[in-house]
Structures are given as C-alpha cells and as structure tokens.
C-alpha cells in the first residue's frame, strides 16, 4: 500500500473477528530492482499549448518509464491474511498497487482501492487512475463500484465530480455508501444576475447482504 498510514490507510488491519489480520507483503516473485539507465546530460525541453490544464504539482512525480518501473517495484504488494492464533497465512487476492483495503464490519467483504496503469507523469500518485472494488473473503472481485481516470481525479476543482467517499456503514454487517457530487449552474445567481456553479450532493446506500 502506498505509504504506511497515508490518509489513515495503514499497511495492516485487524479483521472484525479479532483473530485475523490482513497485511501487505512484498511479493515473493518481485525479482531484482530495475536498473536505472544512464541519464543524459542534455537539456530537457518541454512545450505547452494555449490550453489550460489545472493539475496538482508534486515534487515526487514520475518523469519517465524508468520512474514507472521503480514505482511498481517498490509499491506493488501482495495482501496476506494471517490467523494470529495458528500463524497460518494465505494470499488474499492479487499483487497490485493498493491505495486502501477496508474490511466490512462483518468481515465477509473488503473494500479495495487499486491504482492502475498507465501512470500519468506530472501528477501525484493519488491522482493516478483508480478502481474501487468489493472483494470477498478469498480476495475475488464481487463487484466493481467505480473506475476513476486520471483526468477525473485531477480535475482542478475542490470536489471531484462523480462518486466519492465510499466506505462501510459501521452499524450494518455489509452495507457500503458513497456520495456523488455534480455541478448545477441553474441553482444560484449572484446579485448582478450572473449565474454561478453550485455543488449539490446525492448519497447512495447499498447493502450486499
């Protein structure tokens, strides 16, 4: 998972049965570290057009294919489910670049957020394409909730259009919720008569019991 404790997403979690832990391990078949090719001393020239693009600048952004390979090497992880009483471990799902793994209150399902390729350059990792899925106890995909493209995430606005904030209701065994935001230009007018964009929210609650 990206960052131990990034946005309260730890690299391991207790399952609700208080007997199992799901954690992220280095894949057994990771292999050797990719070798960075000799970098050229030539000047790097970049050009822009007249269009406007609002993105978040990150000093740790990926700049080339070599950076992409190193990113994959260091952040790809294999989820492991371990029984703390017996010490038995088993792989959970696939090895991937995980942003979050969140078990349901019943422990029967896991809400998974993975980063997808192609990785855009000049963007922070949390703006990479993402897929949000519900997995069963074995790590198999039961349902795909949403697939975010990079341009949807780095949209240059404070609130990303579309579904967001997906999580489990703590008072139900396996009920997930999400909030959806849209822009409606007909809801507000300034004193001088000009229309302005107003964010409106809708909420959706779904049970998979």
Q: What is the reported pTM?
A: 0.74
**Whole-number pLDDT of residue 8:** 53
**Half-sphere exposure at residue 29, Cβ-oriented, CA atoms within 13 angstroms:** 3
If pLDDT is split at 50, 70 and 90, which confidence band does 188 have?
very low
Q: Is the pLDDT of residue 131 over 80?
A: yes
**Whole-number pLDDT of residue 178:** 79
Q: Is the pLDDT of residue 130 over 80?
A: yes
Phi-psi region for residue 193, left (φ > 0), alpha (ψ -120 to 50) or beta? left
If pLDDT is split at 50, 70 and 90, which confidence band does 200 have?
very low
| E strands present in the chain | 12-14, 20-25, 78-83, 89-91, 98-103, 109-115, 130-136, 141-148, 162-168, 175-189, 195-207
> What is the DSSP secondary structure assignment for residue 114, as one 8-state letter?
E
Q: Is the pLDDT of residue 68 over 80?
A: yes
Closest CA to 130 of 167, 90, 100, 168: 100
């Amino acid at each position: 998972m990206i960052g131990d404790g990034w946005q309260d997403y730890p690299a391991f979690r207790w399952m609700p049965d208080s007997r199992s832990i799901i954690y992220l391990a280095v894949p057994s078949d990771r292999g050797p570290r990719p070798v960075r090719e000799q970098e050229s001393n030539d000047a790097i020239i970049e050009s822009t057009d007249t269009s406007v693009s609002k993105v978040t600048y990150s000093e740790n952004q990926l700049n080339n294919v070599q950076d992409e390979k190193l990113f994959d090497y260091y952040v790809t992880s294999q989820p492991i489910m371990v029984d703390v009483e017996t010490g038995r471990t088993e792989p959970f799902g696939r090895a991937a670049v995980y942003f979050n793994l969140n078990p349901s209150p019943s422990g029967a399902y896991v809400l998974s957020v993975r980063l997808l390729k192609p990785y855009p350059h000049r963007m922070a990792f949390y703006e990479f394409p993402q897929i949000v899925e519900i997995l069963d106890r074995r790590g198999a995909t039961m349902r795909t909730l949403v697939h975010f493209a990079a341009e949807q995430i780095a949209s240059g606005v404070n609130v990303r259009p579309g579904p967001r904030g997906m999580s489990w209701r703590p008072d139900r065994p396996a009920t997930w919720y999400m909030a959806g935001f849209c822009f409606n230009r007909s809801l507000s007018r300034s004193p001088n008569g000009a229309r302005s964009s107003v964010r409106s929210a809708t909420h959706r609650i779904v049970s998979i019991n």
